[in-house]
Amino acid sequence: MLLLREINPDVRKMKVSEQEILERRAVEIRVEIEQGIAKPYKELIDVSSGNPQGMGIRPLTFVRQVLATCLYPSLMHDDSLPLDVRQRAQRLLGECEGGSLGSYPAIYGIKQVRHTISAFITRRDGFASDPDNIAITSGSQHALMLLLKLLVKGEGSQQTGVLTPVPCYRSFNKALVAQGAVSVPYYLCEEQDWTVQIQELRRALHAARGHCNPMVLYVINPGNPSGHVQSKASIEEVIRFAAEEGLFLLADEVYQSCVFGDDSEFHSYKKVLSEMGPPFSSNMELASFHSISKGFMGECGLRCGYVEMVNLDPLVMHYAHTLFSTNASAPVPGQITLDVMTNPPQPGEPSYALYAQEVQSIRSAIMNNVQRILDVVSGLPGMTCQPIKGGIFAFLRLHLSQAAMKHAKEKELDPDLLYSLRLLEETGLCVAPGCELRQKKGTHHIRICLATPQDTMEDVLQRLKSFHLRFIKEFP
Reported as a single tens digit per residue, the pLDDT across 273-322 is 999 999 999 999 999 999 999 888 999 999 999 999 999 999 888 888 88
What are the distances in angstroms from CA 369 to CA 11, 106, 250?
A: 38, 41, 30
Residue 394's DSSP bridge partners are: 448
| pTM (2 d.p.) | 0.93
Decide: 369 and 57 in contact? Cβ < 8 Å.
Answer: no
Check pLDDT > 60 for residue 80.
yes
Q: What is the C-alpha separation between 308 and 289, in angstroms, rounded? A: 7
Q: What percent of the chain has pLDDT over 70?
A: 96
Instruction: Please tell me the number of Cα atoms within 13 Å of 121 on its side-chain side.
Output: 29
**Phi and psi of 92, rounded to 5°?**
-70, -40
Q: What is the C-alpha separation between 377 and 385, in angstroms, rounded? A: 7
Mean pLDDT across 258-269: 91
pLDDT at 12: 44
Q: What is the C-alpha separation between 87 and 340, in angstroms, rounded? A: 12
- Residue 9 pLDDT grade (very low, low, confident, very high; cuts 50, 70, 90): low
Mean pLDDT across 96-118: 91
pLDDT at 1: 40
Check pLDDT > 50 for residue 6.
no
Decide: 68 and 86 in contact? Cβ < 8 Å.
Answer: no
Q: How far apart are the first and last CA of the chain?
A: 54
Domains and CATH numbers, the chain: 4-56+364-474 (3.90.1150.10), 97-342 (3.40.640.10)
Mean pLDDT across 428-440: 93
Decide: 470 and 40 in contact? Cβ < 8 Å.
Answer: no
- Residue 7 pLDDT grade (very low, low, confident, very high; cuts 50, 70, 90): very low
> Quick check: helix, strand or coil at residue 267?
coil
pLDDT at 64: 97
Mean pLDDT of the chain, nearest integer: 92
Check pLDDT > 70 for residue 118.
yes
**Strand pairing category for 213-220 and 248-252:** parallel
Check the CA dihedral 362-367-370-372 and report its sign: negative
Q: What percent of the chain has pLDDT over 90?
A: 80
pLDDT at 11: 44
For 338-357, how does the pLDDT look when each residue is reduced to its tens digit (9 = 90+)?
999 999 999 999 999 999 99
pLDDT at 16: 62
